[in-house]
Amino acid sequence: MGMHEYIEGLSNLETLNRAPGFFKYQEHTVAAHSFKVAEIAQLLGDIEEESGQTVNWQRLYEKALNHDYTERFIGDIKTPVKYATHELRRQLAEVESRMTQNFIENEIPEFLQERYMRRLSEGKDETLEGQILSVADKVDLLYESFGEIQKGNPQSVYLDIFRESLSTIIQFKSLKSVQYFLNEVLPDLLNEQFADRARLVAISDELLKRQ
Amino acid sequence: MGMHEYIEGLSNLETLNRAPGFFKYQEHTVAAHSFKVAEIAQLLGDIEEESGQTVNWQRLYEKALNHDYTERFIGDIKTPVKYATHELRRQLAEVESRMTQNFIENEIPEFLQERYMRRLSEGKDETLEGQILSVADKVDLLYESFGEIQKGNPQSVYLDIFRESLSTIIQFKSLKSVQYFLNEVLPDLLNEQFADRARLVAISDELLKRQ
Amino acid sequence: MGMHEYIEGLSNLETLNRAPGFFKYQEHTVAAHSFKVAEIAQLLGDIEEESGQTVNWQRLYEKALNHDYTERFIGDIKTPVKYATHELRRQLAEVESRMTQNFIENEIPEFLQERYMRRLSEGKDETLEGQILSVADKVDLLYESFGEIQKGNPQSVYLDIFRESLSTIIQFKSLKSVQYFLNEVLPDLLNEQFADRARLVAISDELLKRQ
Amino acid sequence: MGMHEYIEGLSNLETLNRAPGFFKYQEHTVAAHSFKVAEIAQLLGDIEEESGQTVNWQRLYEKALNHDYTERFIGDIKTPVKYATHELRRQLAEVESRMTQNFIENEIPEFLQERYMRRLSEGKDETLEGQILSVADKVDLLYESFGEIQKGNPQSVYLDIFRESLSTIIQFKSLKSVQYFLNEVLPDLLNEQFADRARLVAISDELLKRQ
Amino acid sequence: MGMHEYIEGLSNLETLNRAPGFFKYQEHTVAAHSFKVAEIAQLLGDIEEESGQTVNWQRLYEKALNHDYTERFIGDIKTPVKYATHELRRQLAEVESRMTQNFIENEIPEFLQERYMRRLSEGKDETLEGQILSVADKVDLLYESFGEIQKGNPQSVYLDIFRESLSTIIQFKSLKSVQYFLNEVLPDLLNEQFADRARLVAISDELLKRQ
Amino acid sequence: MGMHEYIEGLSNLETLNRAPGFFKYQEHTVAAHSFKVAEIAQLLGDIEEESGQTVNWQRLYEKALNHDYTERFIGDIKTPVKYATHELRRQLAEVESRMTQNFIENEIPEFLQERYMRRLSEGKDETLEGQILSVADKVDLLYESFGEIQKGNPQSVYLDIFRESLSTIIQFKSLKSVQYFLNEVLPDLLNEQFADRARLVAISDELLKRQ
């Protein structure tokens, strides 16, 4: 048992769409999302390091790259489902976690199991790298919803996602990298030309004032 | 000038197909390929480390993740074009490299330029991490061509790609991770059921014997 | 609260693919599958009626048409997942059933709730109509896998699905409509020209002999 | 001659798009449309029954499910074509009807021919079930055009379709199920957030006032 | 009334697929087919001219480029439909021809009507250019079916189309350009590597012998 | 060496998208674009001829049909790339031109090489036909950008393309066919209903006044 099954399974993430049927202009696969989150985490890590923090780069890349691998087993159903209660969502997370364990025991050679146990478990912990992952995941979601808004999609659900993503990012505002994002990246995004610019600026201003 | 343009540009790589029109059953985007190469490089790095090598994980992830970012500027045209001579290919590479430089000067804040100059330049150097990238890039291409062969695509060009990828991987056979791939992963791949199994086994055997 | 949400939600089933990433030549949406199962159930009902059985047509159409509506809530993950144990699959079914209940309570007006409770619960019961649904669901799956085999897809998983579907259909061989399917429809299917004809005939013969 | 050809032909309706090239955000196949019309007819039948009418459920489901099967032969060209006169459209309908007859004689076993003659002929007659089909067909078209309007498609042709669909529905306003649709479903639809809300409300109000 | 409607209508032909649902590996739009037929006709015209024939190039390009424009009105339903008799097909052709006339009268300015009447009527007449169009149309169809066969599509219908196309081309074998195609182009096509090569060679040999 | 490779290569242009990832509502292949440009050139040629000019129809069709064939070799990267300087663009054009030459020498029989050298080189010269090609190429681009604007795409880049296309067309305003386009076609286009009508009219008026 080598890692053939693991490598071959990567292509599943190339065909698995995030939130199937949700995005109207551009669909996003789990593989592409993982790539973008790793790129964004890399940038946030740069800022932290430039600000004097010590970044464990191995952990940061590892967390970002692998954080959605387990969607292979149960799909993207952790995504808020309107009719799922908190309890039902907890049950789904548990099912996913146990399928992941079955996968590791069946497909990963023993001498690598510990590494993959770490990589395929929840990465959003309290470490600096875990916090950067939480932020990077939401930055990509914010850009995904912005992609819809920018192209004129008038459904309010994208404004909701934008608001909710930005709101989560702001919770990490003690991080220098989040301050950089809010001060240097977000204004450029809001300066682009698009139909709903006024509403997006209003939402952003309101969230930023509340800090 | 923050990094808005850089982050927004990531979604270009989500829509840019590798070798447009080449793969018949499953297309691959540059973003998904980058994700898979980083995952494969991570695995090869594991094996090296378990074999006693020292892996610079930051460099390894960085190289793998960013190695095709510059395709954003000129597309996937380094791919062998039948009518391009060696000289024409060299000219194209030079054009790409100068566009990359223009991009970094225009879009990356000065304090980050050195980091991105490193990330967006050729990563396949003589270091252990550079060699792992060379192998990981070909392992993904080998699996991409296998994906076509396995689904019954009878055009010989996929067998050619499989052969050429495996042949390049074998050139790095002094690496423990390549030995692991040849001994533990490739046999499982060749054991799957598919129409052209006999020819693929023959190709592999022949290449492996020549070592 | 009228039924706007219910009607609008039908279009979710138009975009939700069955077993995402599984079928290579032709994808099937839940809406199209439901249509085909209802058409097939209608035909099986015809045969039963012509054979002297009494068919409750309202129940038959209702069962067939609505049998996968609840996939809207949790997707097509009841599909055999390699790493899900029996226990994990039971938990998923329970989660889906409770989300369905939440949906009915929140979106269906009270005077219609009983009807939809019946329609959105498991339809494959011991009644003649429930048995026909079980058969029709597998006949469509058999044709879906045949669609892949016929187009030359050499992966053995489609032969497995064909075998497993036919095997389930045969379990209901006391039904006149199943006898009709085995004697009058299956032979025409096996008479079509395709690469793997010999293997498919062998599989079918073997299953039919075992009866 | 069993029904293999009929069952296999169902998958044609999975790949045949309604009004090819017309819908910009979401295409609709004939199979998915048939499923949705049957679901909507089921709901309208519920309301009629709750209002004391006797519904022939077998006929209702049968009409709704099969009403567009014959598009398999000539495609969706009954759709208003700008340059077709009334006379030309009549000729096309006749051609389609004769192809259907050829199909039934060649592919349906004799003992089932009468059933399929009934199912594949025009279902929109004066019976309660025929009227419900007329309404359900337009409710789905109304939602299809609403899907475009809601996503911001500014071309006036979708408003025209919305108007024309609603106008046909209103012609059946003596049906309790239509009154329910106008009073309980349409207001929820018009309450959703979308760019052209004002114009859609105006169109609806105008049509409703004229009654 | 200028030609805005005509130009805008060209994009309809970009979205209209030839024989919808027929080709499994690569769909072909009417616009792309028209382009390819014009390119092939250009090549056949070259050969005629090199062989000493006089080619009316304006007529040749005009015929090839516009020969399927009228599919805009009635779609690609002249394609052999299994259940259409010769009489029904004639009726459809008549409907299409009258819609074309309505279009010209309504949308083309009077001073250009004669030109478009010529361009949008049947081009496959007895002139050299009309014969070249007949051949070029079939050469493209032959390559379209070859595209399926070459990629391993085992359904015999593509062999039928290949045979029927080649058979029509051979009927024009008194043309030098057809002799060139049979002697210089077809052998290279048959020399490519693909699964069904033997059968295709056999079909071609048989047809060529019968001459 | 016949022309098999040339004919087979036509289908590459069917799968090659213009400006990949740029158009959001409707993608355009190089084959479809070539067809449309040839149709538009044909119309512009009509007007010139009706105005008393002598049109070399063979050259006009030839130029229009073949003007983008060489994109097969290097893709659509002559399209303004933000980070390409004038010098880099010149180098790319040179690479493309030399690949074209390699193609002609390797794949076109000698007795046809001169014809294809003419067809595959730059067609936008000072002749009437070369000028018509320049205009037709921009008219199609103008309609492609209008297709996005009309469907509500609010990104200003499509207005930029519209402006730039119209501006180039106006440079050829000494041609009768351009006068016809500006006076008889453009007003009908601007009279259609769409969200950004006011801005498009303003842009057009401004450009037309500057003449």
Q: Which two tokens stand for residue D85?
A: 């006169």
Indicate the DSSP class of residue B108: S
The conformational region for residue E75 under phi > 0 = left, psi -120 to 50 = alpha, else beta, is left
Examine the pLDDT at F204 and tell me if it is beyond 80: no
The Cα–Cα gap between D159 and C169 comes to: 48
Task: Give the mean pLDDT of D92-106.
Answer: 90
Please report the pLDDT score of residue D178 as a whole number: 96
The Cα–Cα gap between E75 and E72 comes to: 6
ipTM here = 0.92
Task: Give the mean pLDDT of C41-59.
Answer: 97
The answer to whether the CB atoms of C58 and D62 lie below 8 A apart is no
Against chain F, the chains showing at least 3 CB pairs within 8 Å are A, B, D, E
Q: Is the dihedral of CA E201, E207, E211, F2 positive or negative?
A: negative
| Whether D26 contacts chain F with CB within 8 A | no
The Cα–Cα gap between F176 and F45 comes to: 10
Q: In this predicted model, what pLDDT tens digit does every residue of F107-120 receive, in sequence order?
A: 999 999 999 999 99
Please report the pLDDT score of residue C196 as a whole number: 64
| Whether A26 contacts chain D with CB within 8 A | no
Beta carbons of A31 and B35 less than 8 angstroms apart: yes
Instruction: Spell out the SS3 assignment of F160-197.
Output: HHHHHHHHHHHHCCCCHHHHHHHHHHHHHHHCCCCCCH
Among the residue ranges B177-186, D192-201, E48-57, the one predicted with the least confidence is D192-201
Indicate the DSSP class of residue B79: S
* CB pairs < 8 Å spanning A and F: 17
> Which residue in B has a C-alpha nearest to residue F23's C-alpha?
B15
> Which residue in D has a C-alpha nearest to residue F147's C-alpha?
D155
Residue D17 pairs in a beta bridge with D29
- B/e letters for C82-101, b = 16+ CB within 10 Å, e = fewer, are ebbeeebbebbeebbebbbe
Residue E16: its chain D contacts at CB < 8 A? 20-21
Task: Give the mean pLDDT of B184-199.
Answer: 79
- For the beta carbon of residue A207, count every other beta carbon within 10 angstroms: 17
Among the residue ranges A56-60, E54-58, E60-64, F102-106, the one predicted with the least confidence is F102-106
Task: Calculate the alpha carbon distances from E168 to D99, E142, F207 in Å.
Answer: 27, 10, 53
> Domain tally for chain C?
1
Please report the pLDDT score of residue F29 as a whole number: 92
Beta carbons of D181 and D171 less than 8 angstroms apart: no
Residues above pLDDT 90, as percent of chain C: 50
The Cα–Cα gap between F43 and E115 comes to: 10
Against chain B, the chains showing at least 3 CB pairs within 8 Å are A, C, E, F
The Cα–Cα gap between B92 and F166 comes to: 32
Task: Give the mean pLDDT of B161-167.
Answer: 90
Q: In this predicted model, what pLDDT tens digit does every residue of F57-94 receive, in sequence order?
A: 999 999 999 999 988 887 655 455 677 888 888 888 88
| Whether C190 contacts chain D with CB within 8 A | no
Examine the pLDDT at D78 and tell me if it is beyond 50: no
The Cα–Cα gap between E181 and E207 comes to: 14
Which of the residues in chain A have pLDDT under 70? 1, 20-21, 24, 75-81, 152-154, 193-196, 211
Hey, of C1, C3, C139, which one would you mutate to test binding to chain D, going by the most D CBs within 10 A of its CB? C3
The Cα–Cα gap between D145 and D165 comes to: 9
Beta carbons of A17 and A28 less than 8 angstroms apart: yes
Q: Binning pLDDT at 50, 70 and 90, where does residue B76 land?
A: low
Q: Which two tokens stand for residue C159?
A: 């032969």
Residue B29 pairs in a beta bridge with B17
Examine the pLDDT at B123 and tell me if it is beyond 90: yes
The Cα–Cα gap between A15 and B35 comes to: 13
Give the residue ranges of DSSP H helices in C108-155.
Answer: 110-119, 128-150
Hey, of A150, A151, A153, which one would you mutate to test binding to chain D, going by the most D CBs within 10 A of its CB? A153
Beta carbons of A46 and B115 less than 8 angstroms apart: yes
Of E4, E34, E181, the CB nearest to F189: E4
CA dihedral A136, A142, A148, A150 (to 10 degrees): -110
Q: Is the dihedral of CA B194, B199, B203, B209 positive or negative?
A: positive
DSSP string, D147-185: HHHHTT---HHHHHHHHHHHHHHHHTTTSHHHHHIIIII
Name residue, tokens 């799956």. Answer: C141
The answer to whether the CB atoms of A195 and F154 lie below 8 A apart is yes
Please report the pLDDT score of residue E81 as a whole number: 65
Hey, of D29, D83, D101, D106, which one would you mutate to test binding to chain E, going by the most E CBs within 10 A of its CB? D83
Beta carbons of E156 and C193 less than 8 angstroms apart: yes
Q: Binning pLDDT at 50, 70 and 90, where does residue D153 land?
A: low
What is the largest distance, in Å, between two alpha-carbon atoms of chain D?
57
Beta carbons of D154 and F195 less than 8 angstroms apart: yes
The answer to whether the CB atoms of A155 and D194 lie below 8 A apart is yes
- For the beta carbon of residue E188, count every other beta carbon within 10 angstroms: 15
Q: Is the dihedral of CA A57, A60, A62, A65 positive or negative?
A: negative
Name residue, tokens 């099967």. Answer: D69
Q: Which residues fall within 8 angstroms of residue D174, CB to CB, at 6 or more apart?
A: none
Please report the pLDDT score of residue E76 as a whole number: 55
The Cα–Cα gap between F137 and D186 comes to: 47
Please report the pLDDT score of residue F67 as a whole number: 95
Name the more confident of B193 and E13. Answer: E13
Task: Calculate the alpha carbon distances from E48 to E45, E77, E107 in Å.
Answer: 5, 32, 36
Query: Residues 30..89 of E with a Cβ closer than 8 Å to D: which?
Result: 73-75, 77, 81, 83-85, 88
The answer to whether the CB atoms of E152 and B156 lie below 8 A apart is no
Q: Binning pLDDT at 50, 70 and 90, where does residue F190 land?
A: confident
* CB pairs < 8 Å spanning C and D: 145
The alpha carbon of residue D188 is apart from the nearest alpha carbon of chain C, in Å, by 6
Name residue, tokens 């192998």. Answer: B135
| Whether F195 contacts chain D with CB within 8 A | yes
Of A88, A94, A99, the CB nearest to C81: A99
Task: Give the mean pLDDT of F121-134.
Answer: 96
Q: Which residues fall within 8 angstroms of residue A100, CB to CB, at 6 or more apart?
A: A70, A73, A120, A121, C83
Indicate the DSSP class of residue D51: T
Task: Give the mean pLDDT of E141-170.
Answer: 85
Q: Binning pLDDT at 50, 70 and 90, where does residue C78 land?
A: very low
The alpha carbon of residue C87 is apart from the nearest alpha carbon of chain D, in Å, by 33
The Cα–Cα gap between A111 and B46 comes to: 10
> Which residue in F has a C-alpha nearest to residue E48's C-alpha?
F112
Of C75, C83, C102, the CB nearest to A77: C75
**What's F120's domain CATH number?**
1.10.3210.10
What value does the mean pLDDT of chain C take?
A: 87
Hey, of D27, D193, D199, D200, which one would you mutate to test binding to chain A, going by the most A CBs within 10 A of its CB? D193
> Which residues form the domain of C191?
4-210
Give the 3-state secondary structure of residue D28: coil
Beta carbons of D67 and D59 less than 8 angstroms apart: no
Please report the pLDDT score of residue A78 as a whole number: 47
Residue C74: its chain A contacts at CB < 8 A? 77, 81
Q: Binning pLDDT at 50, 70 and 90, where does residue D154 land?
A: low
Residue closest to A190 by CA, chosen among A210, A162, A169:
A162
Residues above pLDDT 70, as percent of chain E: 89
| Whether E11 contacts chain F with CB within 8 A | yes
Residue E109: its chain F contacts at CB < 8 A? 184
Residue F17 pairs in a beta bridge with F29
The Cα–Cα gap between E200 and E149 comes to: 9
Residue closest to A5 by CA, chosen among B192, B46, B202:
B192
Query: Residues 110..169 of C with a Cβ closer than 8 Å to D: which?
Result: 111-112, 115, 139, 143, 147
Q: Taking each helix axis as running N to C, give the angle between helix E86-107 and helix D86-107, from 0 to 180 degrees, rounded to the nearest 10.
A: 160
| Whether F190 contacts chain E with CB within 8 A | no
Residues above pLDDT 70, as percent of chain B: 89
Q: Global pTM?
A: 0.84
Task: Give the mean pLDDT of C188-192.
Answer: 85
Backbone angles phi, psi at F123, to 5 degrees: -95, -10
Residue E152: its chain B contacts at CB < 8 A? 152-154
Please report the pLDDT score of residue C135 as a whole number: 98
- For the beta carbon of residue E24, count every other beta carbon within 10 angstroms: 17
Q: In this predicted model, what pLDDT tens digit does every residue of C138-181 receive, in sequence order?
A: 999 999 998 888 776 667 778 888 888 999 999 999 999 999 99
At position A78, the amino acid (one-letter code) is K
- For the beta carbon of residue A139, count every other beta carbon within 10 angstroms: 26
Q: Which two tokens stand for residue E36?
A: 């390819």
Please report the pLDDT score of residue A183 as a whole number: 93
Examine the pLDDT at C193 and tell me if it is beyond 50: yes
Give the 3-state secondary structure of residue A188: helix
The alpha carbon of residue E207 is apart from the nearest alpha carbon of chain C, in Å, by 22
> Which residue in E has a C-alpha nearest to residue B196's C-alpha?
E195
Please report the pLDDT score of residue D81 as a whole number: 65
